[in-house]
Amino acid sequence: MVKIVSVQAYPFSLPTRRDFRWAGMLGQLGNFVLVRIETEDGVVGYGEATPLPDWGGDFSRHAGETISTVIAMVRDVLAPALIGHDVTAVTEAASIMDRVAVGNVYAKCAVSIALYDAWGKSVGLPVYKLLGGAVRESVPVAHMVGLMPEKEALDEAILAVEDGVRALQIKGGVDAERDIRLVAALRKEFGEGVALRLDANQGYGHVKNALAIVRRLVDAGVSLIEQPSEGLRYMAEVTAASAVPIVADESCWDIHDAVDVLQARAADCISIYLAKAGGFGGACKVADLAGAAMMACDVNGSIESAIGTAANVHFALARPAVSLPAVITISAPAGTHPCRVAGHYYDDDILTEPMQVRDGAILPLDTPGLGITIDEDKLQAFRCDQ
């Protein structure tokens, strides 16, 4: 037994390379909560939350969170319940957190990541081996092209593909005509060698409107469409009529949502966030259910820092169903990023060495825990509460 002696939480931020936005997003990227767990042996595990107050599930079924609420929940509720418990008993820890707090999945996810990081360091294993071992050699990345003018979006996409990625997530849902024109331009530019995934963030509304837009996107050359509408009823009708796969994101947060999506036939694929599922344990349940139903998944998020990205990489390495390119950051300190644009959302990050990339995919992080070394001086410089 390796006892937890300390659980801390504080905010930090990273400088963005450019403005990145999606439908319904009100805040800015690059704001995080760091969770730091220390054991009686002096092992330190790091976790991260990227909370958004303006984003949730269908019809507000799941609530948004803020930097302040995550810090308060970790400090005042989760930490007192976990101090003194075994850091390697991650399933028990998840049950404890669910017992003392309803919801608050961002806070729980940050603690979950820190627990796994500390556990891996305690036993000398990378997190993906704690999750069952690697089922793939690397994690292909899909670069996010945010809501931006069409010419800028096209330029961003071209540079990302030149960097080696073979999948793009195109943010849309605000202006369907723009989305259709952009997909058509990108397909003309790249031919069939690049997957184009249009993310509408529920923006196409009623099923009749959504179906008409989906048909035109298919004609324009789209490969997948993420969350065209809101609610399982509308999603199911679009899925049944679509010639390309439909991905559930807002409609599927946790294992209970995944069961509902499966029963309603509301999607062909699921976009998994560690945060939506409350951490590694919950996300594994979603992925394994999807795998049993022969539904492909990706791992996605809110463009995390190196800590959250490392967690995403380990999860994607270890889950067979997570076979779609991941919409995640390629993390690197300032001046060392392997790409000009692909996965390059921040001008700096809190790890000491850049993540390694080959052919548009992140390679395994093979040292114990999350497999990254945190630059403590830089982390302190990026703190927002001092």
pLDDT per residue as tens digits for the range 17-37: 877 765 655 667 789 999 999
* Integer Cα distance of 104 and 275 in angstroms: 9
Interacting residues of 212 by C-beta distance below 8 A, sequence separation 6+ = none
- How many CB atoms are located within 10 Å of the residue 38 CB? 17
Q: 245, exposed or middle or buried, with CB in 10 Å at 0-12, 13-18, 19+?
A: middle
Give the residue from 234, 154, 163, 165 showing the smallest Cα distance to 200: 234
- How many CB atoms are located within 10 Å of the residue 5 CB? 14
Rg (CA), the chain: 20
Cβ atoms of residues 49 and 106 within 8 Å: yes
Given a cut of 50, the residues of the chain with pLDDT beneath it are none
50-59 confidence digits (pLDDT tens): 999 888 899 9
Question: What global pTM score does this model have?
Answer: 0.96
CA 238 to chain centre: 24
SS3 140: strand
pLDDT at site 23: 60
SS3 145: strand
SS3 97: helix
Cβ atoms of residues 383 and 11 within 8 Å: yes
* Integer Cα distance of 67 and 51 in angstroms: 6
Interacting residues of 9 by C-beta distance below 8 A, sequence separation 6+ = 33, 34, 35, 36, 70, 71, 74, 75, 79, 107, 110
Cβ atoms of residues 93 and 279 within 8 Å: no
Cβ atoms of residues 49 and 75 within 8 Å: no
Q: Is the dihedral of CA 174, 176, 178, 183 positive or negative?
A: positive
SS3 64: coil
Q: Kindly state the tokens that stand for 74.
A: 């970790």
* Integer Cα distance of 314 and 117 in angstroms: 11
SS3 47: strand
CA 126 to chain centre: 19
> For residue 34, what are the β-bridge partners?
10, 48
How high does pLDDT run on average in the chain? 96
pLDDT at site 26: 60
* Integer Cα distance of 374 and 350 in angstroms: 6
Among left, alpha and beta (phi > 0; psi -120 to 50; other), residue 360 is left
For residue 32, report the phi and psi dihedrals to the nearest 5 degrees.
-140, 165
pLDDT at site 25: 54
* Integer Cα distance of 142 and 63 in angstroms: 27
